[in-house]
């Protein structure tokens, strides 16, 4: 969201460096202030997982809303890819496993992220993945009577968006998150995005099937991970998570890293009023669907 910016600060209260997301009430679209921002705060304050950026506090003033979060010292996965060209096998396996753990935790708690991408995977001081930016996240997305709720908010970044999002048809957001995970995996091991998102019409046409680069830096395990996603079309998306989990069975689980204690929230409850009554439909101009340049200099 262009109406927000991030700064690093020293918190005496939490005795550590923190990241502060600052949202201007005068620059932010009304729908963002009444729908997406309250939803983001409601979602993140209930999350507690070693591979998620931890929410500390939210403060509202007359002109701004401040969201105070854990600070990740080592930038983003995108920064690492730009620096190293591609991610070696050991790190890509480890980081993808951490991403899977984070997404699985969210989905188990009925939360969908809807903006999984390299820029939103931050690195802590030990280079553990921390999924961040829940600006388009939504809670209460568990199945009811065997049916999964669909979303009609078309958000995220073109290069990471599932075919349904690109086509503007209702989609299951859990599967869209998994699709985006596949794009992240591809970007890590090949050092490039699978699709050219500078031409929307072409992207719409080719995104049903994944391109396979002519070279490979994979072992058998990583080939299985890649195939679980590369061979997937819109029709077959329901099997992606099972394939990923099977291919990941030989990869060690991540070790627990420091988790922040319970946070104290001091935000005006009025900011949440009307949130649950709003429909999950938003104009494309306000969604923040963006292009991504993986190779641009920081």
Q: The domain spanning residue 235 has which CATH number?
A: 1.10.510.10
Do 37 and 145 lie in one domain? The reply is no
Do 39 and 184 lie in one domain? The reply is no
The pLDDT tens digits of the residues spanning 227-246 come to: 555 554 444 444 444 555 55
Only one residue has tokens 């995970």, namely 181
Question: Other C-beta atoms within 10 Å of 10: how many?
Answer: 10
Q: Do 148 and 290 contact (CB within 8 A), yes or no?
A: no
Do 87 and 27 lie in one domain? The reply is no
Catalytic residue among 115, 124, 177, 197: 115
Do 162 and 46 lie in one domain? The reply is no
0.85 exceeded by pTM: no
Is 115 designated active site?
Answer: yes
Nearest alpha carbon to residue 184 among 109, 256, 95 = 95
Do 141 and 243 lie in one domain? The reply is yes
Question: Of 70, 85, 120, which residue sits at a domain end?
Answer: 70
Do 148 and 210 lie in one domain? The reply is yes
In a domain, 65, yes or no: yes
Q: How confident is the model at residue 213 (pLDDT cuts 50, 70, 90)?
A: low
Residue 14: domain span:
4-70
In a domain, 108, yes or no: yes
The pLDDT tens digits of the residues spanning 28-67 come to: 888 889 888 999 999 999 999 999 999 999 999 999 999 9
How confident is the model at residue 186, as a pLDDT?
A: 85
Token code pair at residue 156:
């995220």
Tell me the sheet residues that pair with 57.
68
How confident is the model at residue 217, as a pLDDT?
A: 52
The pLDDT tens digits of the residues spanning 112-161 come to: 999 999 999 999 999 999 999 998 998 888 777 777 888 888 888 888 98
């Amino acid at each position: 969201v262009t109406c927000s910016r991030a700064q690093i600060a020293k918190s005496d209260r939490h005795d550590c460096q923190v990241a502060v997301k600052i949202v201007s009430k005068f620059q932010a679209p009304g729908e963002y202030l009444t729908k997406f921002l309250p939803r983001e705060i409601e979602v993140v304050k209930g999350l507690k997982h070693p591979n998620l950026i931890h929410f500390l506090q939210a403060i509202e003033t007359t002109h701004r809303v401040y969201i105070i979060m854990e600070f990740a010292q080592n930038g983003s996965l995108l920064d690492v890819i730009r620096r190293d060209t591609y991610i070696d096998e050991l790190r890509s396996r480890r980081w993808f496993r951490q991403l899977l753990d984070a997404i699985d935790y969210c989905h188990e708690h009925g939360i969908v992220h809807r903006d999984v991408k390299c820029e939103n995977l931050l690195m802590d001081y030990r280079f553990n993945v921390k999924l961040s930016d829940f600006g388009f996240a939504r809670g209460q997305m568990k199945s009811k009577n065997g049916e999964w709720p669909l979303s009609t908010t078309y958000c995220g970044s073109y290069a990471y968006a599932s075919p349904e999002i690109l086509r503007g048809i209702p989609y299951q957001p859990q599967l869209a998150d998994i699709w985006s995970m596949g794009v992240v995996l591809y970007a890590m091991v090949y050092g490039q995005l699978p699709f050219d998102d500078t031409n929307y019409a072409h992207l719409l046409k080719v995104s049903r099937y994944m391109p396979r680069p002519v070279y490979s830096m994979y072992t058998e395990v990583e080939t299985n991970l890649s195939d679980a996603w590369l061979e997937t079309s819109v029709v077959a998306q329901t099997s992606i998570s099972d394939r990923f989990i099977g291919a990941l069975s030989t990869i060690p689980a991540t070790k627990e890293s420091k988790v922040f204690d319970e946070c104290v929230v001091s935000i005006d409850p009025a900011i949440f009023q009307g949130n649950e009554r709003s429909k999950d439909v938003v104009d494309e101009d306000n969604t923040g669907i963006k292009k991504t340049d993986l190779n641009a200099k920081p």
